[in-house]
Structure 1
């Protein structure tokens, strides 16, 4: 076993972010690695609560509810499985602001070895009008980025 690595997973509880977590757990994470779920929330929030969470990080249910995060049984099941089978350490961090910019901040702040994010699969016009988070992150991140696409039914 080599040096433990740190992987960030962009998590908004959408089907694509869950697929990214599942993909990372099955294909990337090895014994002793660290997984950091990265949540980006809108900028409006209580500053003192933001500062506490930015400094500590946690995936405990009480903390998640306090910071307005969603409890998702599927996400917890994936994390529990990878923690038990591969000994991965799991934490969560919250950032407030624009998802594109904050994911880039997370790469540097958390010294990620790699970032895994989902793709909403916007068409060309919507991507131009709304901007693609994944395009921005792939272009600007200082670590390798894997974009997981979910096939449409």
Structure 2
């Protein structure tokens, strides 16, 4: 497919960790003409609407950047982008001349990120690494580790070094 129109996915949960991963992707991967696709995974949604039940399987439609600030649209998907992330995206859309989209999935982050890779489909995926301690990682399992081992496309893990 060449470099034109690649689909670069970034897993976002609107935490500082995901903002760092997003900024890294924009600085190091994203080129003019690419599609920057934010993949947002929500915990299981128990919503009675038929539309939502369909989305639980396929994920939401691709949401354009212009709708990220629309509270009604975001509420429908149960997600709320933070101002810092929106600022990063606005700048990237203009400076890098990329199309910015978001797709929301519901369920287990590890499985849904791998599904997103095939469903969208993505050429590469960037995920943040929260840097859980060894004990927490043993109990919870690492999302980034799982995705690296199970994704059908290349995955970049951007480490977040907490100053604690």
Residue pairs, 1:64-79, within 5 angstroms: 64-79=74-89
- Shift of the alpha carbon at 1:48? 2.6
| Runs of 4+, deviation exceeding 6 Å | none
Query: 1:152 maps to what in 2?
Result: 162
Instruction: Indicate whether 1:31 and 2:36 are aligned.
Output: no
Match status 1:56 vs 2:61: yes
TM-score of the aligned structures, taking structure 1 as reference length: 0.92
CA RMSD of aligned residues (A): 1.7
Structure 1 CA distance for aligned equivalents of residues 77 and 112 of structure 2: 17
Could you give the per-residue CA deviations for residues 27-49 of structure 1, whole angstroms, max 9, x where no partner exists? 11000100111111111232534
- C-alpha deviation, 1:55, in angstroms: 5.0
Alpha-carbon distance in structure 2 between the residues aligned to 1:39 and 1:99:
9
> Within 1, Cα distance between the matches of 2:10 and 2:3?
21
Tell me, which stretches of 5 or more residues in structure 2 are unaligned? none
1:99 to 91, 95, 109: 109
State the number of aligned residues.
153
Deviations 1:61-103 (A, max 9, x none): 2311222211311111111111101110011111111000000
Mapped to 1, the partners of 2:108 and 2:152 lie a distance apart of 18
